[in-house]
Amino acid sequence: ELKVEQNPLFLSMQEGKNYTIYCNYSTTSDRLYWYRQDPGKSLESLFVLLSNGAVKQEGRLMASLDTKARLSTLHITAAVHDLSATYFCAVDGQAGTALIFGKGTTLSVSS
């Protein structure tokens, strides 16, 4: 059974601090997706990582992919309150149709 595991599931951070969210998956997928969800809102695509070693950055967020280790990381630099949200990673399902999501990491940034 394909599994996608994120940790931590809950993260409380102070503004200005750095932290990393980890996403482990059990398939041999070469692609990994990161989404953000604000409370009561839908999912917003953040990054699509398409190959081993891929690194993408947007503002204070940087995502990377190591397909050999089946691991992706989402690094947060100098957190600000606006980053408070739930972050999901996802991989391609084995049928090549749906995405399989992790349970999400709920990030809370406080001053």
Give contact residues for other proteins (rule: CB under 8 A).
Answer: 31, 33, 35, 41-45, 48, 50, 88, 90, 92-93, 95-104
Shortest Å, Cβ 23 to other proteins? 13
- Give the closest residue to 74 by CA, choosing from 29, 32, 37: 32
CB 49 within 8 A of CB 56: yes
Shortest Å, Cβ 30 to other proteins? 9
Shortest Å, Cβ 19 to other proteins? 21
Q: Which amino acid is at 69?
A: A
Cβ proximity to other proteins: between 72 and 79 the closer is 72
Residue 56 token pair? 């993408």
